[in-house]
Amino acid sequence: MTFILAVLGIGIGYIGYKSSRTDVSEKEKSVTVLQADYPEYNTAEELVESADLVFTGIVKNIEYKMLDVSTDEGADEDTGFADDEKMPYTLYTIDVDKVYKGSVESSAIVVKRAGGSFGSDEYVVENASEIAKGKNYLFAAETYEDAYPSLLNADQSSYDVDAPQNVMDGEEKEIMLSDILKLI
């Protein structure tokens, strides 16, 4: 069963979420795959230019929350969500090492990405990069006045600082950590 969960504004664009749910036995998790329509970036320049905040840091904590994605003006025109609609999010608490673009008010910051684990329900963003506790990453995020910063997209917003950065000949060019670091 597929249905629209939410459409969230990022900058001047919108992100659409579709989900498909797989029900399993009581002992196993029920997995809902969120298919997100995020902006994709062709170059490191586009990625860095789109981000309000680019920084490195170590993930110290990962938690899951249902966050309100509605507007204060009644039902949203695009999604139909009313004031009490919530979406599953993973919140990453990161000890900031170095800020390359933007600013942070303390040595730790919390950023969010759609998806997460809630009891026997798991929400997974399709093609999302892995972000693990205890690892060092470079993050690209969009900031908001009264909300947690959001990663720009599921697969181009976090880069493992300690992972090998190799591209094989003949592979499609992807944005590499080294490409971003050359710009900032």
Spatial contact of 100 and 54, defined as CB atoms under 8 Å apart: yes
Residue 14 lies in a domain: no
Residue 173: the pLDDT is: 57
Lowest-confidence segment of 16-20, 87-91, 116-120, 151-155 by average pLDDT = 16-20
Is 57 a domain residue?
A: yes
From the number of C-beta atoms within 10 Å of its C-beta (0-12, 13-18, 19+), residue 65 rates as middle
In a domain, 1, yes or no: no
Query: 156: domain range?
Result: 40-113+127-183
Domain contains 28: no
Q: Is residue 12 part of a domain?
A: no
Looking at residue 164, which CATH number applies to its domain?
2.40.50.120
Average pLDDT for 21-32:
66
pLDDT, tens only, 85-130: 788 999 999 999 999 999 999 999 999 999 999 889 999 988 899 9
Cβ contact 101:128 at 8 Å: no
Look at residue 31 and tell me if it is in a domain.
Answer: no
Please check whether residue 91 lies inside any domain of the structure: yes
In a domain, 82, yes or no: yes
Confidence (pTM): 0.76
- Count of structural domains, the chain: 1
What is the 8-class DSSP label of residue 173? P
pLDDT value for 8: 35
Range among 37-41, 47-51, 79-83 with highest mean pLDDT value: 47-51
Using the predicted structure, report yes or no on whether residue 31 has a pLDDT greater than 60: yes
DSSP letter string over 110-164? EEEEE-EEETTEEEEETTPPP--TT-EEEEEEEEETTEEEEESSSSSSEEETTS-
Which amino acid is present at 43?
T
